[in-house]
A and B are shown apart, each in its own frame.
Chain A
Amino acid sequence: MDPPCAIEADTVSRAFGDQEVLSRVSLAVPAGEIHAVLGRNGAGKTTLIRILSGLTTPTDGAVRLLGEDASGNPRALRGRVGLVPSGDRSFYLRLSGLENLLFFARLHGMRKRAARRRAGETLAMVGLEDAARQRVGHYSHGMQKRLSIARALLTTPPVLLVDEATHDLDPHAAEVVRAHVRELADRGTATIWATQRIEELRGFADAVTVLREGETVFVGSVSAFADAVAVRSHLLRLAPSHRPGTSELRTSLAGHGSIEVVDEAEGDFRLTLAPDAVLGDAVAALTAAGAQVTACREEGSEMLDAFIRLTESE
């Protein structure tokens, strides 16, 4: 028998008044998996995280964490779930980073000496040891996020819930945060990673659930997500000496796709492949028509296209 998933949401719904913000959302995250939850603003990501963390009760459906029913928000279970909330307002700004972590470590039941040692260790893990005695109010966004990660690390949580941890961070700080989370996952932590930054999924997340207006519109691996609905556009540069007319190029492509001029002087064209077409066949068709392709690159992000297409309102 397979072990139960660390995080299980079974047809979870949540309404605020008449407005349903989550509708029958289900997901299952095994130990060691980073499961991204992707969606636009208001898609229901934060509500899902809040339900999983016990801060909000679902109006319907069930949540199981580590094989236990989480509906009663049992205290022992709370000690095994780490939460990295969105925003910076989750620390005592007049206290230092060390004092904040000490306080939360004590609330997790650690004795004073163990709490101090663990707080020091986790601060070092996220590279904040030099700022340990600085007031959190003087920390930058990135430092506060790292402190959030350090707080989640205090207890070695088998379940980690991360809500938009990188949305206001510079690329380097965001990468540092992701590295910490990846590290935790490698040690067996099941992670929910709510985000709008789709570019961070590849090479980081293992699976993705896409929410649109509270409903699940995609569940699967990251590569399946990119493949599912990708618009495949490429920018081509054609050599001036071997550049047939645009109508001739279009005719040569036939069923492979379409082509349009982007920059006549530079010889740049946009090639949009038909759904089942292969890039090599399209380029071969253009070459057969007398064109010489000197450069070819993907235009934009496949995943960005997938995200936009999946999440745009019907």
Chain B
Amino acid sequence: MSAQPYVEAPRRWGTLAEFAKLPAFLRRDLLTALSYRFGFVTGWIALGLQAVLFYFVGELVDPGALPSYGGHDVTYLEFAIIGIALGGFTALALGRISAGIRNEQLMGTLESLLVTPTSPNTIQIGTVLYDLVYVPVRTALFLVFTTLVFGLDLRAAGLPAALLVLMAFIPFVWGLGVANAGLVLTFRRGAGVVGFGAMILTLLSGAYFPLDLLPGWLATVAQYNPLALTIDSMRESLLGNAGTTDALVAAAEILPFSVVSLLGGLWIFRLALRRERRLGTIGLY
């Protein structure tokens, strides 16, 4: 090296520049995921096996005990497959969003991120962006795959409406995950909380059985579970005749939960990060 002034590479600043950083996170996590090919493949196999399991359970269930959608009777697998997909989506997204920042902390890269001119929100979003893209795609592919393999009667025409509801639901899960990421940053442990939260949400969602089977008061509570609202609306779209208008109504019901969840989650995360800076313990794990 010779002593001459550097020519500094041009840099961008501002909100748009922050958005422009997000693809870098996506690329990083895609390359990382591809480097773990075995885990990538076995995740898919596990999901397929779950569908097979519910296929055989479905052989024992009387379709008459299940609700009908748009006047159509459904099989148990058709009923459960949307619950499996959404339940899996919720558990996976919650776990990964919660673990994203924790993994950075464990790898020692969190501090490297925080000393760059990147806002904590961009870091938080960037850390989960891959999963926010991958998990819904995985869910959609799972539904298509099981429909083809098990001959399920899911309506392709209902897919846009189902995706609309899913889009309204994603910020809800994201917010919970971010809030938990903040708790993990503070308390260093949080996998148990995520598992417990996902279990409660799924239990009260009607994913595997109709909510009518719950005790009356619990069934009433469950009607306000955003996951239950999402699953019910997606069933109406994919198994019944519900259209985009119905989906918009459902999305309007889900969105307030999502807004509160996301804003609350980001607030908790920022508080946790500020606390870590104050205590000087960001790098500890």
Contact = CB atoms under 8 A, between A and B. Distances in A.
Given A87-B108, A110-B11, A55 B115 contact: yes
A309 to B, nearest CB: 30
Interface residues of B, number: 41
Interface string A179-190: 110010011100
Nearest to A79: B117
Interface string A37-64: 0000000000100100111110000000
A187 B6 contact: yes
B270 to A, nearest CB: 13
Interface residues of A, number: 55
Nearest to B7: A156
Contacts of B24: 102-103, 106-107
B27 A103 contact: yes
A226 interface: no
A79 B112 contact: no
A57 B111 CA distance: 14
Given A95-B31, A109-B12, 15 more contacts: A16-B280, A47-B280, A57-B278, A78-B115, A78-B116, A85-B111, A89-B109, A90-B111, A92-B28, A95-B28, A99-B27, A102-B24, A108-B117, A151-B112, A187-B6
26 contacts: A47-B280, A50-B280, A55-B114, A57-B278, A75-B117, A76-B13, A76-B117, A78-B116, A85-B111, A90-B108, A93-B107, A94-B32, A95-B28, A99-B27, A99-B28, A103-B27, A104-B116, A106-B21, A106-B23, A108-B116, A109-B21, A114-B9, A183-B1, A186-B3, A187-B3, A188-B5
Q: Which 9 A-B pairs have the closest CB atoms?
A: A89-B108, A79-B117, A106-B24, A56-B280, A109-B11, A156-B6, A107-B116, A186-B3, A94-B35
Interface of B: 1, 3-6, 8-13, 17, 20-21, 23-25, 27-28, 31-32, 35-36, 107-109, 111-119, 277-280, 282-283
